[in-house]
Every structure is written in structure tokens, then in C-alpha cells.
Chain A
Amino acid sequence: MLDKDVLEHGPRELHQNPLRKIWMPRTSNGLPQRPITQRRVCMTNCPTLIVTVGLPARGKTYISKKLTRYLNWIGVPTKVFNVGQYRRECVKIYKSFEFFRPDNEEGLKIRRQCATTALNDVREYLSVEGGQVAVFDATNTTRERRATIMKFAEQNGFKVFFVESVCEDPDVIAENIVQVKLDSPDYIHTDTEEAVEDFMKRIKCYESSYQPLDENLDKELSYIKVIDVGRRYLVNRVLDHIQSRIVYYLMNIHITPRSIYLSRHGESDLNIKGRIGGDSGLSDRGREYAMKLRKYIQEQNIKELKVWTSQMKRTIQTAESLGVPYEQWKALNEIDAGMCEEMMYEEIQKNFPVEFALRDQDKYRYRYPKGESYEDLVQRLEPVIMELERQENVLVICHQAVMRCLLAYFLDKTADELPYLQCPLHTVLKLTPVAYGCKVESIYLGVDSVNTHRNRPENVMAQRSTEDALQTVPAHF
């Protein structure tokens, strides 16, 4: 395992990647080598195949999508493969539950075919496209089907982790059906009562052949059984870091209705001057916003609202006006702009034109000299997200870059979109989980402020003119 290159030529010279500020060795031929593993999350050696198990309306797709969103956000390329969707592409029009009857030979053939096609796409994603986790979202209720999948995984060198959802609470199942089945393409032309009736019969088709993961027969497998929407969990043979993180995540999420309110601090003195970072207090307009926020919160009549701030003066001052207890999180502090702290964009362009250009080239990965990148921010914010998942009604008073990261998590935005999400001052975003996603309401509280959003300029080359560089800088005093 010893690196011959290093043994022969001595330790390699280090070179700091100008964008990410990461030290990497150069090989003896002078070219930078492939980067040494950067610890973000699990560097699984082999890709992981997550396989859902459970009757219809047990939350498999909900879990699949949510887990995928989380894994992608923390930097693990993940994709869902929903066999139902393959079936819909194959059988253009859904007639009735009869398609799912266990004695419907033609139906079975098509369904088996769809599963195979989906697995082929999984192989493509994990082995060729650089995916790290694939979520195989289907009922997978028979041992036979699961055996097929495991054989496939073994042949391709994928690790398998099962996520089984078991639930017999009729209220929960009914609610599931209302939330996500009635709007499914399958029932688009059916009225509600008919749809529910048909779906219940569909579930029945699976019930007789359902073989849950068995404590004894399946004791060598890696899995988690989620029972009654998280009241109880059975976890078996967690093999590695990513599985451990997945288990932790699944054990912290819930489906109790609630809302998350995201807001920035009120306008600050440095905001007005067009300066980034720092730790200034609120401007007059910022204080006005804090008062309006207090009024808004009171009117919303939120049950047991938790309020979180960063440890920077401007968010704390904003929370103080609310007149309710709040918790300070250092993890919610604004992105550290290192050597560019408290500078205006014009000054950054003047003093660090190359840095300024590099940032525009890859705003997500760019790390300020002696500072942070958005990528670092996401890692810093992960415990905040985990706790937000555990909590119910929360108001988070934070900062522009931080809010962009949190918003990207809830709205499933990619790393490229994240640093350009619009998070203006004096606007509250109310996020309410609904169906498989998140409803967003944007509430502008009617207090003027500067605009702090700087779009990506057209010219991102290091040699660009000052004018080109400052093209998109918002106005300030």
C-alpha cells in the first residue's frame, strides 16, 4: 500500500488549489495529482443500493425522496429509482387495481420487466455515472424479489441496505392515501371515493404474498425496519459510515405537521455600506423589520415556536425584539469571508481580483482565503438540519449564505443553484412540508432595505475588466 512515487522521490511538493484552498501534492512530472480524499462524508469504497420494502402507502416513496434529498445535500450523489414510474411509462393508462392481482400473469410480467429495467439504470448510475447511492423504491415485499436484487448487487459490487416500513395504523394509511395517492397520475381521472376504494384493493393484492424482513432468516442482512412511522426501529448489521448516517437520519425525521420559518437578520449597518461579513448591529430599518417580524409571528399564532439565531449581533438583536426565548447557534454564523471580511465587492475586486473571479467561476466550492466555502457551510449546518428535522415549529433567524444552504436543503436545490438562491432582507420564508416536498410562502414585511444579492456576472475570467467584474454588484451607500 506504500506509494512508490513518494518512497523514491521523497515527499511530494504541495500546491494549494486556488479555488478550494486545498493542499494537494504534485507528482514527479509536475502535474497535480488526483486529489487525496477530501473528507466530506463517507467515502464508501463501493456504492450502496438502498432497497425499500413495504406495502403500498407505507411511506416508502416519501422516505426515498427525503433521504435522497438529504444525501445529495451533504454531498453524496444519490438518485431514486421508482419502479412505479417505470410501470407508468410501460403501461400508459392505469385501469384499476386488477393490474396488481397476484394471478394477473401479464401484469406480473410487465412488473418484473420494469424492475429489471430499473436495476439496469441503477447499474448505469452507480458504475458509470459516478453515483454513490441508489434508492430502489418499490414494494419488494417478497423474499424472491429481494433475493433477485441482492444477487444483482453482489454481481456488481454494491452494498445493500434495506429500509422496511411497517405500519398498520388505518389513520396513518388513510392520510397517506389522501396526501399522495389521490394526485398520482394513476388516479388523475378518478374521483376521490373511487380512488381510495381502488387503492385499498391494490394494497390487498400485495398483502397475501408479503414476507417482511425476518429477524432470523434475514439476520445476515443490513437493514432498518421503521415501525409505525418511527415509534420503533429495528436496526440490523450497520456496515459502514453512510449506513450509520442514514439510520441516524431516518430516526430523526417525523411527519407531524409543522412549519419552518426562515428569515435573515434585519438590515445591518454593514449591509447599508455594501460590506460583507463582520458583526455589526441593526440599522434603523433593520430595527423596524424586527418589530414587524414580532407582529407577524404573533399574528401567525404558532404553537410552541422555537426561535434560533446565530451568535452574531444582528441576528440576536432581531430575536431580542420578538420578546420570546431564543437559542444561539454558532453553527448559524454567516459564511466566514476570511481576508475579505468587511470589504465591499469593489474592494475585493481591487485587492483580490483573481479571488473574485475564481469565486464567480465556482461559487459553491470557492473558499475565501482563510475563510470558508458554501461547501464548508453545508457541513457546518448539518447538525442544524438534523435538529430542524427533530423539531416542530421553528423560526431560524440567520444570514444570506446560511439561509441559501438551508433553503437548498428544503427545496432540493443543486450545488450550482444554491449560492444564487434569492434570500432578500426583510422577507420571511414559511416552509410547510406537503406530500413529497415543501410548500414555500414568501412574506415581505413591507420594510425597505438594500439589496444584497449579487448575480453571477457574464465574464468570470481572471483577466476580466473591473467593470465586467462589478457588473452585478447591487447598489449601496
Chain B
Amino acid sequence: MEPVQLEPRRRRRCDSPASVPQFCNSPTMLVMVGLPARGKTYISKKLTRYLNWIGVPTKVFNVGQYRRQAVTTYKNFEFFKPDNEEAMKIRKACASAALKDVATYFSKEQGQVAVFDATNTTRERRAIILSFANERGYKVFFVESICEDPEIIAENIKQVKFGSPDYADRDCEEAMVDFIQRIDCYRASYMPIDDEKDRNLSYIKIFDVGSRYLVNRVQDHIQSRIVYYLMNIHVTPRSIYLSRHGESELNLLGRIGGDSGLSPRGQKYANALATFITNQNINDLKVWTSHMKRTIQTAETLAVPYEQWKALNEIDAGVCEEMTYEEIQEHFPEEFALRDQDKYRYRYPKGESYEDLVQRLEPVIMELERQENVLVVCHQAVMRCLLAYFLDKPAGELPYLRCPLHTVLKLTPVAYGCKVESFYLNVEAVNTHRDRPGNVDVSRNPQEALQTVPDHV
């Protein structure tokens, strides 16, 4: 057989399945198990955010939401009483509707992982789900959260239940009392996953917010990654500070990439950053930089120990390194247009794409999850990738996220998401943000191509 003649290598990674790491062949259902206020939705949302970020299409199916659509006004915990036949009917119907949507997600929407977020506390309910999955060839992985620490449960209720639509018109004390009774409704019929009877199932049991784990029959790569992720996250309050290096010499000249040092204004920013950090009075702050001079110079000014990560280096622009956008347009107009057509997947010739960056940054994210207070001094494209992870931005938006120089973003996990505070430290800098121009066609003229290039020297 004649070897196939490959077409001249395009900068974009080919879309054939061969080029995408095979995470899973059959779709996977992640099934949450546990009493209310055990962190199931927190885990569901966080895991979904992580999987989507690393490129595995994932979606949460929260049965409680289906219930809120069916029963538009929540009265009280009596709805959840085990002897409330009518409510039982509705709840069963909601679970079925959610399962139906899971099937659609997999078969019609190219989903790869569906997170079935509900209490699923009875063997009977879990059997229904297993049978549903087996019929369709889906893999099932259970995630059970077990916790009896009253303080943690109370904190959960405060953080996420008071804000729930169910309790919108109730004051905190009422809501707390009602919710505790709601939990009790489930307690009597709760059958945790049984290590003997369920020994052939694939699952992870999380005890006491991660102090202990039981992992049974991990089947494949994606389940292994999920377990690793779940074992690294924590709920201890902390903040992550993201900042770019101070303005660099090449920034001033409108040139991308390279390994230049700080401009005088950049140095000023480093000083301002040192003051800012000191004033924040952060407990046990870790500082991370890339291997590039400009981030290290910025960190040096902080006068605290820092760690250099090669993985935090700026995106490699390959043959376009140290060029201005004008020069890229002049020498590689087609590449320039291709980049505007799909900035996330576009790979610079002999360089990287945003998609490559995400893969490179995964260990950084994993370690950020393990850590507590961290300041990451990095670069524009890198910061966009990290920010997209924390703020759950899709691939289409990621390369256009605003990460201006001389601005610190403080991210603090809260409820199911992340609070962002932006601190501009009052030192002027060039703008390095180039928006997507109106015309992305290869046939466009230079003016159209350079329409959105920011000013530089």
C-alpha cells in the first residue's frame, strides 16, 4: 500500500480524531451520591469546569433544577417527605427527564461526560441509572460525598442554600430550619454505596471533604484524571492573584514574545505590586513566575522567595517571535488571517496554539488547586488561559479575555464560583490587547488586518 501523501503541514492541528488525545471512547456518566449539603453540586460544577477547560465536553444535569421548573413555587421540606406520593411522582419524572437530556447530550450534542447531579441515595434509584447507562453503552462512575461534620454542613447551607431560588423569600433562620428537616427526609432511606454489594461498580467515596477517599475499579483514563482532580481540590478559603509581568521593552515596541527585561514603567509596576502585596497582608503567600526575564524581574522586586515554572512561559509564537503585528501581516498575511479565524486552535508556525497552552498549563492548575494563597506572575496568553479556567470561559472567548498590563486580578472562590476583583496599580502601560477584526478573510487588505492593532512606539 502506498503511503498517503500528506498535504503541506497546516498550522492548525488537523481535526481528525487521530490528533486529539483519546480521552474516552464511550460517553461517561458521573453520578453524584449523597445527602443534601454534602457538596455534590459544588463538585459537579467544579469538575465540569475543569473537564471542559482541558477539552472534554462536559455538562451538569442538576435534577433539583428540573424540579424547580416542574414545581414553580417551593413551599417547604414537606415536599421531600418520603410518604409524599405526589411529590415522589414529580421527582421521579424529573429524574427521567434529566436522563433523557443526558441521552440527547451524548447522541446529538457530542457530549463526552454528563454529570448527573442529584442525591441518588437509594440503591433503587442508582439501579435505574445503571440500567439506563448499560442499555446505551455509557460508562458510569459514581462520586459519593460522605460527611457528618455539623460545622461543614452548616457552612454549606449558608454558602449555597440561602441563595437558592427555593429560599429566595425566606430569612436565614427559617431557611436553615427547613433545610435541616429536608436533609432528615432523605436520611432514613439513605443507602450509601456498599463496598461489598457494589464492588463491581466504579466509584470514589469522598469522606469529610477529602480527608479520606475510597476508590474502586477505575476503568479508564478519564476516570483516573477525575479521581486525581477530586483528590487535589480543597475548600479552605484562599485567594489567587493573577498578574502579568511589568511592561517590558518589547511591549513598548509592540513586539510579541521574546525575552526582554522590564521598561522603566514596568519596574515602577513591580514596586507598586510589592506595596500592594504587602498591604493585602496575605497569609503564607506563594509566588510563582515563568522562566522569562520579565516575570522574574517583577518577582525580584517583591523581595520574597518565588518559584520559576517553565510551564508558565508565554505562548511560543514560533517564526513570529519578536515581530510586530505589522510585520506578521507583511511576512505571513495568510497565517495572520488564519489566526483571526480561530484564535484558540491556531498554532504559530513552529510555535504553539492556545489549545497547546492549556495542555501545558494543566499541571499549574492542578497545583493551584492544591495550594492556598498564590500570586502568579505570568504573561498575557497564559493569564487568559488561567482566567478562563477560574471563570469558566469557553474556548471561543478565552483568547480575547482582557488581561491588561499593570493590573492584578484577585480571585476568591465563593459559593459555586469565583469572585474577581481587579486592581489597576496606577502605573501607565501600553495596551497589548488586539481585538478580533471585522474581516478575517485571507483575501482582506492590510488595513483591515491591522484595524485592531493597539498603539505602540
Contact = CB atoms under 8 A, between A and B. Distances in A.
Interface residues of A, number: 60
**How many interface residues does chain B have, given as a range?**
35 or more
Given A236-B211, A237-B211, A244 B308 contact: no
Nearest to B364: A39
Given A14-B300, A39-B307, A22 B291 contact: yes
A11 B297 contact: yes
Contacts of B195: 232
A241 B18 contact: no
B213 A234 contact: yes
B116 interface: no
Contacts of A219: 212
A193 to B, nearest CB: 35
A201 interface: no
Contacts of A21: 291
Interface stretch (B31-39, B43-51, B224-232): B224-232
A47 B370 CA distance: 19
Contact of A235 (B199, B215, B306, B356): B215
Nearest to A247: B231
Contacts of A244: 228, 231-232, 370
B237 interface: no
Contacts, number: 135
Interface in A2-50: 2-4, 6-7, 10-12, 14, 16, 21-23, 25, 36-39, 43
Interface stretch (B1-9, B60-68, B106-114, B124-132): B1-9
B185 to A, nearest CB: 29
Contacts of A4: 303
Contact of B301 (A11, A238, A341): A11
A231 B321 CA distance: 49
B206 to A, nearest CB: 10
Nearest to A16: B293
Interface stretch (A54-62, A75-83, A120-128, A321-329): A321-329
B370 A237 contact: no
Contact of A327 (B18, B199, B213, B261): B18
B300 A320 contact: no
Interface in A340-357: 341
A232 B306 contact: no
Contact of A290 (B3, B6, B213, B291): B3
Interface in A368-392: 370, 376, 379, 387, 390
Contact of A237 (B212, B221, B227): B212
A251 B308 contact: no
Interface string A221-249: 00000000001111111100100100110
28 contacts: A1-B305, A2-B303, A2-B304, A6-B300, A11-B297, A12-B300, A23-B293, A36-B306, A232-B199, A232-B217, A234-B213, A236-B211, A237-B211, A241-B370, A244-B232, A244-B370, A248-B231, A279-B9, A287-B3, A313-B6, A320-B3, A321-B1, A323-B1, A326-B18, A327-B22, A328-B18, A331-B359, A390-B224
